[in-house]
Each structure stands twice: as C-alpha cells, then as structure tokens.
Amino acid sequence: MDVTHIKLAIRHHIAEATKALHHPDLDDEAVHGARKDLKRARSGLRLLRPLDEAAYRRENARLRDAGRWLSGVRDDKVLLGMLAKLLERERKPKGRRLLERLMARLEKERQRDWRAVRTAKRRRELREVLGETAHRVDAWHAPHAHTPVPAAALKQLYRKGRKAFKRSRKLPSDERLHEARKQAKHLGHAVELLKTASEKSASQSGTPSPQARAHPSR
C-alpha cells in the first residue's frame, strides 16, 4: 500500500464527514457517521505520520477538535439512554424524581448542543477546517509513491499498543487501562483503513488484493 492511496482514503473520509454534516436533515445518525469518518481519517493521518511529524500533529489536532465539536450531541444521547434504563429499574419515588430531573437537565443541554451544531457559522467552520486539512494532507511530500511509510507507521502503532498494554498489566489503573484501550483502537482503525484502501486499489487496477489471492474463489 503506497502513500497515494492512504491520502485518497483520508480525503474520502473527510469528504464523507463533510457531506453528512451539511445535509439539510442533520440528525443523530448523520453526526455519528461523521464522527466515525473523522476517526478513520485520523487513522490515515497516523499512517502518514513518518512523512512530517509537525504537520501530522497540526492536522490531527484539527480533526480531533472538529470531532469534539460534535461530541456533545452524541454524548448527550448516550447518557439519556443510560438514564432511561436506570429509570425503568428504579422503584423508589425519590430515586425516580432524581433521575427525571437529571434527564430533564440533560435534554436541555442536548437541545443547546444541537442548536450550536446546526448554526450556519458552525457548519461553515467545520467545512473550512475539513477542507483545509484535506488539501494540506494531499500536499504532503513523499520521496516516491512507494515509500514504505505506512508499514513504518503501523509498526510504531503496534509498539505503542504493546507498551501501553504491558503498563496496564503491570499496574492497572483507570488511566492506564484507558490508554491501552485507546492505542488498541488506533491500531485496529489503521489496519481497517489499510485493508479497505488496499481492496479499492486492487479493484481499480484489476489486480487481486492480498486477501483475494489468499482465498481464491473455487
């Protein structure tokens, strides 16, 4: 897998996120999809990290912040669902009143977060941030198209994941377990992006992907 196809994958996921966020009927499903695409785009950035560390940090921070702008409405929905389940099981009137007050307060916060996400100003800011990042990443220079940058980045992600896992096993804590889980997700997302990009590249060139070669049809 070469650098060019990783860049194409990043641009694809940024374009999908932008499309979802600017749909007239922006809803929970669209926001959830946009956040997933932004995470996949950041996975692609990690695979190009050896090209330019400073540029990686800048663009990764921009996509991270864009995702955080959307996190409020998603987090509110998850919390409301959890509180609703607790309310179903709660039998004491005092406990039910407390949960109902929390849900009412959270619903107001959710409405406020939705108003912020749906404003023309916020949508324009998101579109500009995502468009600039896609353009800048496309301009990242590689010595040549087949420079083994993704392989080197994948090894680095694996080493970081192993290190975080060992630390969490040696002395478990909320912080260390969270870090181990985060690094495992980073690695998994990067592998998934590589697999998808490889399959698309193979289909466009007419060359079987490694998966297809390993499991030929009978």
Would you state the pLDDT for residue 37? Answer: 94
Give how far Cα 138 sits from Cα of 35, 99, 146, 191, 218, Å: 21, 49, 15, 21, 40
Would you state the pLDDT for residue 180? Answer: 94
Q: What percent of the chain has pLDDT over 70?
A: 89
Say if 218 falls within a structural domain: no
Say if 214 falls within a structural domain: no
Say if 169 falls within a structural domain: yes
Q: What percent of the chain has pLDDT over 90?
A: 58
Residues of the chain with pLDDT below 50 are 212, 217-218
User: What's the domain count of the chain?
Assistant: 1
Say if 99 falls within a structural domain: yes
DSSP per residue, the chain:
--HHHHHHHHHHHHHHHHHHHT-TT--HHHHHHHHHHHHHHHHHHHHTGGG-HHHHHHHHHHHHHHHHHHHHHHHHHHHHHHHHHHHHH--SHHHHHHHHHHHHHHHHHHHHHHHHHHSHHHHHHHHHHHHHHHHHHHT---SSTT--HHHHHHHHHHHHHHHHHHHHHHS--HHHHHHHHHHHHHHHHHHHHHHHHHHHHHHHHTPPPHHHHHS---
What would the pLDDT profile of 100-135 be if each residue is shown by its tens digit? 999 999 999 999 989 888 888 888 899 999 999 999
Say if 125 falls within a structural domain: yes
pTM here is: 0.78
> Which CATH number do you get for residue 52?
1.40.20.10
Would you state the pLDDT for residue 139? Answer: 86
Would you state the pLDDT for residue 218? Answer: 43
Would you state the pLDDT for residue 5? Answer: 86
Say if 217 falls within a structural domain: no
Say if 185 falls within a structural domain: yes
Domain that holds residue 80: 3-209
Say if 216 falls within a structural domain: no
